[in-house]
Amino acid sequence: MPRVFISAAHKSSGKTTLTLGLCAALHARGHAVQPFKKGPDYIDPLWLGMAAQRPCYNLDFHMMQRDEIEQQFARAASGARISLIEGNKGLYDGLDLDGSNSNAALAKLLGAPVVLVIDARGMTRGVAPLILGYQAFDPEIRIAGVILNNLGGSRHESKLRAVIEHYTDVEVIGAVQHDASLQIAERHLGLVPANEQGAARARIQHVGERVAAQVNLDRLLAIGDSAPELSIALPRDAETSAERLRIGIAHDQAFGFYYSEDLDTLRAANVELVDIDTLHAQAMPEVDGLIIGGGFPEMLMAELEANASLRTSIRRAIEGGLPAYAECGGLMYLSQRLSWQGQTREMVGVVPGDTVMHERPVGRGYARLQPTGDDRWQETASIPAHEFHYSSLENLPADSMYAYQVTRGHGIDGQHDGYQRHNLLAGYMHRRGAGAQGWIAPFLKQVRVHKARATD
């Protein structure tokens, strides 16, 4: 399984744009490229998946066990000409002092050679000790090449190449000049989602062409081919005899934050996913359950409000007992009202609280949940999660029932998350759906119980 870990000395070095360009460039050459993203991220994987024309998968020590990471990598990488794993932040950055959840740890776990993206603005001779230090810090990490980014011209490039060649044994496989046309607009949670940009494919093509002209793709492939053989035992696919379920899933410009692994897991559990366009669909389809993931509903809150017939249909379905699961943007949509930039719009109204957007993050980063014992899903173990929201849910009744106590993070009110009403579970926290601690198994159990009762 040829593979390369794309990392950087620090965040905001341009590695996401370069990884995007590499995926697009290699795909344009006819290669099957499998992208991965380290960490709990929805936006970058949307872009990377579009560039590679293959779903991008997340790999994260907080949300997954080590064997789950290995198995997810092996499943997705099978059949690809090369896998590109994009790190988050810097190569050695991570939560723990020992680096056990760092990018370097993931590169070691997967035996992936590293290509280091270096933001070279203002740099000349100082690039050498930077590279030498990164090599020396952990000798088990193989830095197989560097890509110089944000160069100030051909003279700047020549100086850096000469310094690196003289002082190090690391190969420069790319030198990308500063180019404003490579930038992708940012907003409060990061890169603008690819599913929201009509011109996304054209932008990806442009980035791919510019990267292909300035990075030696043949050398990148050769580095990938030099990765050692991996021996990963995959568990047998579980056989399912369960009745097929139809689950509605909000999937449009407002809602699109779903892990590829979770969609695979749902389909493997004999689930037919029925896309619901919350901006244009007039009514709920005939489904056994409903999922509304994250997104940016505030950006389209006027359109969401205007589709009153669907909002009414969703509210009546949930109040009628339809099992539903909502995360972050989905919670916002299900609230009574959404306020942002001096405007307030009516939402679904099944959650008796009001969503208010703020200028600064309310909850951001890794989190952990402990079931309260009152949760209808009957979970017991501590649950890893993450959150990225600039909004708060206000005016909830004092007697609201919550599924989780927040032991790390903010959630709905700093103490609780997972608002429960009827057969709805909605919270700010993003969870992994697959795995022993995932939300998919208990959700589908609830759906099947409800369906069986409805047909009795």
Dihedral of the alpha carbons of 314, 316, 318, 321, in degrees to the nearest 10: -150
216 Cβ contact partners less than 8 Å away, ≥ 6 residues apart: 173, 174
Q: Which of 61, 118, 52, 109 is nearest to 84 (CA)?
A: 52
Cα(284)–Cα(297) distance, rounded to whole angstroms?
18
Q: Of the candidates 415, 406, 409, which has an alpha carbon nearest to the alpha carbon of residue 387? A: 409
CB 291 within 8 A of CB 251: no
Contact 339, 355 (CB under 8 A): yes
Q: What are phi and psi of 306, to 5 degrees?
A: -65, -25
- Rounded to the nearest angstrom, the gap between the alpha carbon of residue 106 and the centroid of all alpha carbons in its chain is 16
End-to-end CA distance of the chain: 50
Q: What residue type is 378 in one-letter code?
A: Q
Q: Is 404 left (phi over 0), alpha (psi -120 to 50) or beta?
A: beta
86's enclosing H/E stretch is strand 82-86
> So which residues are the catalytic ones?
328
φ, ψ of residue 201 to 5 degrees: the values are -65, -40
